[in-house]
Chain A
Amino acid sequence: MLKFLKLTAATVLLASPVFADGFGLGRPALPEEIAAWDVDVMPDGRGLPEGGGNALDGEEIFAEVCASCHGDFAEGVDNWPVLAGGFDTLADKDPVKTVGSYWPHLSTVWDYVHRSMPFGSAQTLSDDEVYAIVAYILYSNDMVDEEFELTHENFNDFAMYNTEGFIVDDRGAAEYSKWRAAPCMSNCKDSVEITMRASVIDVTPDEGGDAEMTSEDHAAVEPEEAAVVATLDPELVKSGEAVFKKCKACHQVGEGAKNRSGPQLNGVVGRSFAAVDGFKYSKVFQDAAAEGRIWDDAAMTEFLTKPRAYLKGTKMGFAGLKKPDDITAVIAYLKSFGE
């Protein structure tokens, strides 16, 4: 590779002497900017901020912001990733690849939780919260006890279970050497039998059902909703649609909306709490429904301002909307969809 690099460096010099000192484009990145974006953590722990958190605190945070997808015990809900268990299953027919059984580096867990989680509210966790969540994930894998505190100081002492389980791509030796050969053209085998058919398991989606909503569908939907929409400020509804992007990771609204990790929201404003069939509400929601509480503007505003303060124990992993205008807009948007 060294030889190759020298060669290319020479080529550049010869090919473009005018630009030997570069093009002078762009501007220097400021230290504050680099600090804001360069937050990745290396396998040796470089990049970790100072801080720490224990598994007990982590359990509480995990229940609030992670469990709606990953389960209270990191066991995974529906198709969402399982984070715990699966030890010694990697050679089985169906390996269970979890943080405990598969991930080679603890840095990856910290880095991913910190940068990319929670789904739909990435980069909202404090450094200490991330330490605590990672400690809890280790605890859920029986790798530490519940008092365990993970800090930037003991981080590198922690050994992952499957660190030695990876090899660098060896296809060159294991495969290419075999498969770079003149191929057979005739009498390549004695007979051929069909051994398996896709129709037997029948898991191919019906092509009609999965097509995205077409413009014709939109046209069909609009007249039905016209009566409701007429009483709403269309500009407000439009800005509410933009705000709703923050909710879309967990909630669907509109024709064909289904329950995901949160319930579908058609007709939510004005209906009682915990009213969607087939959605497993947390206890605090069921209690509110039993009290006969209704999702009116005031309740919705308060909830969206600080969900976990308004309904302590909700599994909705969302910190809340900071701007009152955003809340008004998103409520208007939700009102534009009937039952």
Chain B
Amino acid sequence: MAKLPKAPSRRGFLKASAATVAGTVVAGQASAAGDPLITEVQDWASATGDGVDATPYGMPIEFEGDVIRRNVPWLTADPISSINFTPIHALEGTITPQGCAFERHHSGAIELRKEDYRLMINGLVDTPLVFTYADLERFPRENHVYFCECAANTGMEWAGAQLNGVQFTHGMIHNMEYTGVPLRTLLEEAGLGAAGDLKDKWVYVEGADASSNGRSIPMEKALDDVLVAFKANGEALRMEHGYPVRLVVPGWEGNMWVKWIRRIEVADMAVESREETSKYTDVLADGTARKWTWVMDAKSVITSPSPQSPISHAPGPLVISGLAWSGHGQITRVDVSKDGGITWETARLGKQGDAKALTRFYLDTQWDGSEMLLQARAMDETGYVQPTKAALREVRGENSVYHNNCIQTWHVKANGEAENVEVS
């Protein structure tokens, strides 16, 4: 098994990168005798490396040991009922590797064998059914890429700039290619005649772990694009993401993507379980709370440069890279500002993203070495434009906790370091 080195501390990392800025000018140039990495025979160019039997299942090379999930211990009472964060500052493209995709558990990640897995459909159906894992593999299946974002992503930033790293401010998100059976197929297998008029019906979905996390989903969504998924990025789901089977609820808050899903009940009303009343409801300034705020609105963030990914080179060509997504559909455009929102340039989309999936954007620019206040602003196919934090606060106040999709600002200094700030 590959050995992972201890991740460098943040402060150590920043020091090292600041030093690199100064050093880079030299490193790229040949000294009089030439670059020894080129002029001298290196060990790896002479001796042999690992054989094909060394690593039956590979981990990232040790030099990438700091690209890991991290948590914020003060956020929750116990790591068993908590969340960690995807290292989005260090990832590229759009697909999140499972091994570093954020985890959120309410009673810990459980070990559930495929052989012990059962899925029950009951309630207002013609025939209540029980499926095994093997049964699920016999239904026609589909592949789709979707983002999964916790409703609390960026939730610590409502009252002000708080956490200094895009991993912590925006890392409750991952994006995977799922393989699964449409929930509609399974509901139709059980028969929806008994449900009568489907217009006001719900499905209640529940997990097999000790938290028994359960959420109510309106029938229209259940019959639209919800997947009962058993693979992600081509391989089995990881334990921490609900192995062997989880629900995928495209564009809607991550808490509804019930892991280890064991039961689907067709009902004539929402259950109003703990996770859809006391949690995942959004308190407004006057104390009223919004409930059933399921859709994740359009949002974007610059992943590099950012506090954990400072500029480590001299002025000149600079790639500004970021992610954008919308629970309402496709991202159609992302604008970037270097001056805190006075002027904007339209960024280049890495490629047109799928609906309800991450889209990568780039601004290929020239950095003159001066300070920048970097911002990104996403637009989706409905014409929705990502709001500023001030605009969000004006409508919601500061106590919503969830659904903070505000424009983020990074203050990039002349030495290349970046800080999470708020601007006027």
> A residues engaging B (CB < 8 A)?
1-2, 4-5, 8, 12, 22-23, 25-29, 33-34, 37-38, 40-44, 69, 78-80, 90-91, 93-95, 97, 99, 102-105, 107-108, 111-112, 115-116, 119-120, 122-123, 165-171, 174-176, 178-181, 183-189, 191-199, 201, 203-212, 214-217, 219, 248-249, 260-261
Contact = CB atoms under 8 A, between A and B. Distances in A.
A282 to B, nearest CB: 19
B233 interface: no
Interface string B280-306: 010101111111111101000000000
Contacts of B281: 166
Nearest to A166: B291
A197 B411 contact: yes
A40 B271 contact: yes
Given A91-B287, A116-B274, A179-B385, 11 more contacts: A26-B189, A33-B120, A38-B265, A40-B206, A79-B77, A105-B272, A166-B290, A167-B288, A189-B341, A189-B342, A205-B168
Contact of A216 (B3, B206, B270): B3
Contacts of B219: 5
B352 interface: no
B361 to A, nearest CB: 15
28 contacts: A5-B219, A23-B189, A29-B122, A34-B120, A37-B122, A37-B262, A40-B206, A42-B272, A91-B285, A95-B283, A97-B278, A102-B278, A103-B278, A108-B274, A116-B274, A169-B295, A178-B391, A183-B385, A193-B424, A197-B419, A201-B160, A208-B7, A209-B9, A211-B7, A214-B6, A215-B3, A215-B4, A216-B6
Given A40-B265, A204-B168, A248 B80 contact: yes
Interface in B372-424: 373, 377, 379, 382-387, 391, 395, 398-399, 411, 419-424
Contacts of A185: 335, 343-344
B199 interface: yes
Given A169-B291, A179-B385, A192 B272 contact: no
A116 B81 CA distance: 12
B384 A176 contact: yes
Contacts of B188: 12, 22
Given A26-B131, A97-B283, A104 B277 contact: yes
Contacts of A195: 421-424
A212 B6 contact: no
B123 interface: yes
A104 B122 contact: no
Contacts of A91: 285-287
Contact of B269 (A37, A43, A93): A43
Interface residues of B, number: 123
B163 interface: yes
A170 B396 CA distance: 11
A1 B213 CA distance: 27
B212 A197 contact: no
B287 A180 contact: no
Interface in B190-218: 190-191, 197-199, 204, 206, 210-212, 214
Interface stretch (B42-50, B67-75, B312-320): B67-75
A194 B297 contact: no
Contacts of A103: 277-278
- Residue among A69, A191, A205, A207 having the largest count of chain B Cβ atoms under 10 Å: A207
B78 A111 contact: no
A93 B397 CA distance: 9
A248 B110 CA distance: 12
Residue with the greatest number of chain B CB neighbours at <10 A, chosen from A29, A97, A171, A193 = A29
A183 B379 contact: yes
A153 to B, nearest CB: 21
A185 B290 CA distance: 32
